[in-house]
Chains A and B, each alone.
Chain A
Amino acid sequence: MDRLIPGLRWAGIAGLILLAGVVGAQKESANGTTMNVPGAMPNVHVVSPLANGQWTMPAGDYGNLRYSPLSQINTTNVQNLRVVANMTDGIPHGHEGGPLVVGSTLYMVTPFPNNLYAFDLSKPHFLLKWEYQPHPDIASQGVACCDVVNRGASYADGKIIYALLDNHVVAVDAQTGHEAWRTQVGDIHFGETTTMAPIVVKNLVYVGNSGGELGVRGKLTGLDVKTGKVQWIAWSTGSDQDVRIGSDFKPFYAHEKQGKDQGIKSWTPGQWKIGGGTIWGWISYDPELNLIYYGTGNPGPWNPDMRPGDNKWTVTIFARDADTGMVKWAWQLGPHDEWDYDEIMENILVDMPWKGQMRKLLIHPGRSGFMYVVDRQSGELLSASTYEPTNWATGYDLNTGQPIEVKEKETHFGKYSTDICPSSTGAKDFIPSSFSPRTGLVYIPAHNTCMDYMGTAVNYIAGTPYLGASVRMYPGQGGYQGELVAWDVAQGKKVWSVKEPDLPVYSGVLSTGGDLVFYGTMDGWFRALDAHSGKVLWQFKTPSGIVGNPVTFTGPDGKQYVAIYSGVGGWMGATALPDVSTDDPYAALGVVGAMKKIKTLSPPGDLLYAFGL
């Protein structure tokens, strides 16, 4: 009871505002989304409805803001947040992604074997309603590069739709837990897996493949939401026809207009067939332009001397027609990548003033250490500035869209290039940022890790790693390895940050209308910061490292909740798992040298936590 007293004390000051927020939320909670963002900065507009009670797609919204206007939990009461439910799935592997909330049910997809749990939010402790077990091929575990993770699901057409590690997409009836359809979109015998969270636009489900370290040719598959039937495939390499480049293709930069079939011609003969460019991150959608946006992964193998040329369209941002999959524009951020800088990161879509003019922005916090701001209509790069120590390039030429690379940080066959920052794991990895329209800040989960990198000889043997590099990583200079960065988009600079001494920040971020920023640390702290100042207002220690994405929702009782996974794993987190030993700094594709401390700081875990007031 006494917990209510501080709330009452605040009621006089904030009560009216709060009440307005709650009423607004209830009014629009029929479909659990809203375009209305109370308190948004002047002229900052979202491009699609925000999660406002439910959480029906991986990022909460098509624009990938990971922002919810819900404000019951806010800076005045967050210190009262407590555990209202926790669930275990018994699978001590990386719990990337986050749960979904549809109506009064919370859905959780587990790491391999990719079971789906439905929890009843109308029952105390959120009791289990049903469990669906898809039984993917167990051999798929052996071709998963970076732990047996899954990054989440989408809700559409009454179904929960997600990808299994063994390259099947399943649709499960959200009410009954019965499988509606299952479609194969890849083959583990070629080293393919599927780990990303599909998104659904109108009647199409989009899903990409993983396996850039196994000679997989990247592709995005569009499936019919009703039947699961494949409608089209858009490859990342190969002929224009395969890439779905047609007469509509209007890239901004001359570098992307070098004639036909650049997806073949920018490679040594045949190399494009095993050249990577996989799609294992996040997809955004702009309903007004009817375009989807996503980035592609690294070229393969990692030894750049084995693949002279630009290696199109790896490390590229694509804008595609949402219905046909045809490319509208493409921009290769990293031509002929030499550092494994996949750019599959989130693309945050927002309309806001840029240098005095309203622009349709695409904000891409890059693995390469650069924060890219792009005009999403044209594909023009507006700005690229570093948000963590970065020395492979000094910047980007905005006239050509090309990086200005540093000669001694190039990598080659047979010789270590040393002290390259960031490491292959990036200044951030796939773990998604959040943007708050109330603060104009992007909250970036970042790392400060550097590396030595040497190209090595490698054979292509289908279904085995096609790596071709010896990499060793270590913490960067400055006495910290992780950092939650608050980045002012309009000003193009870091305004504050919260640093972690020993481990990267490897969890997604959520921001809310309560002016809170939620995220987790790899040693298991789940935190709420003040979205304006970065002050830590509340934190809770979960048993295992957090590599998942927080979500927030309104329960059937009208109360706001926040949920997060606690279960370390993934590429950097794999060092915490018993299968990896720390006497080999080259293990786990080179991350172990930077991650040794995690063995004592975070045991493996398998939990879902829900918090409420």
Chain B
Amino acid sequence: MKSISVLVCAGSLLVWAAGCHRSSNSNSVAVNGPAITSNPVGPVPGGVQDIQYPTNPYMQDPVALQDGRRLFDWYNCSGCHGGHAGGGMGPSLRDPVWIYGNRDDQIFDTIAHGRSKGMPSWGSKIPEQQIWELVAYIKSMGTPEEPDPPVEPAHEQMPNPQQEEKPSVATQPPAAETH
């Protein structure tokens, strides 16, 4: 009981701290309403080339990257997409495949609005600047800037200690071992 309340408190503090860390005039919700972007649907006739897609205000901000990493666990992103986003229930975010595009605004929209195969729409739960921090973290993956990058456990290379199973293996007829 005690440990649980401690955990919850620690967790709330964490979110609170992350939420307060960046002051923002519209701190709370990006809601399930219109997309964050007001991009044109497709190319604009007449040779217009300079469409301004919204970009991430926190890109390459190391504090934001750290926040993004923490939020990735905090909002259970890691449960679906993998501890460091290598995939699982949801697709890998580390590979070159981007089902819904990899521009900052596209990743933002995916988080805020959800996607049909089961990605929840987080816009009503995660404040806008935290979504941008998540976007910053996701885009840092595999780069030298990635905070807390995945490391291989050292155990694979360890020599074989005494820990082995019962002698029943020795009773196997050789035929069964031929693989």
Contacts and interface: CB of A to CB of B under 8 A. Distances in A.
Contacts of B4: 268, 271, 305-308
B95 interface: yes
Contacts of B156: 474-475, 593
B90 A142 contact: yes
Interface stretch (B61-69, B103-111, B171-179): B171-179
B97 A501 contact: no
Interface string B161-179: 1011110110111011111
Contact of A583 (B81, B150, B166): B150
B49 to A, nearest CB: 34
Contacts, number: 210
A584 B85 contact: yes
Contacts of B79: 213-214, 458, 464-467, 589
A12 interface: no
B168 A495 contact: yes
B87 A593 contact: no
Name the prevailing secondary structure of the B interface residues: loop
Given A268-B4, A494-B172, A580-B88, 4 more contacts: A497-B169, A498-B176, A592-B86, A593-B152
A79 B151 CA distance: 46
Interface in A539-591: 574, 578-590
Contacts of A590: 83
A214 B179 CA distance: 39
Q: For the complex of A and B, list the 5 residue pairs with the smallest distance between their C-beta atoms, beginning with the closest.
A: A142-B118, A465-B79, A584-B86, A586-B83, A587-B86
B29 interface: no
A321 interface: no
Interface of B: 1, 3-4, 7, 10-11, 14, 73-76, 78-92, 94-95, 97, 116-120, 125, 142, 150-153, 155-156, 160-161, 163-166, 168-169, 171-173, 175-179
B165 A478 contact: yes
Interface stretch (A53-61, A133-141, A246-254): A133-141
Interface in A404-424: 413, 418-419, 421
A533 B173 contact: yes
Given A139-B118, A459-B74, A464-B120, A497 B176 contact: yes
A91 B24 CA distance: 46
Contacts of A271: 4
A499 B179 contact: yes
A587 B82 contact: yes
A200 to B, nearest CB: 30
A84 interface: no
Interface stretch (A99-107, A114-122, A374-382, A449-457): A449-457
Contacts of A141: 117-118
A139 B116 CA distance: 6
Nearest to A188: B118
Contacts of B120: 142, 463-464
A536 interface: yes
A477 interface: yes
B166 A386 contact: yes
A534 B179 CA distance: 11
B171 A496 contact: yes
A463 B83 CA distance: 18
Nearest to A492: B168
Contact of B175 (A413, A456, A534): A534
A145 interface: yes
A471 to B, nearest CB: 8
B76 A464 contact: yes
A142 B175 contact: no
A581 B95 contact: yes
B155 to A, nearest CB: 5
B155 A418 contact: yes
Most chain B CB inside 10 Å of its own CB: which residue of A450, A475, A581: A581
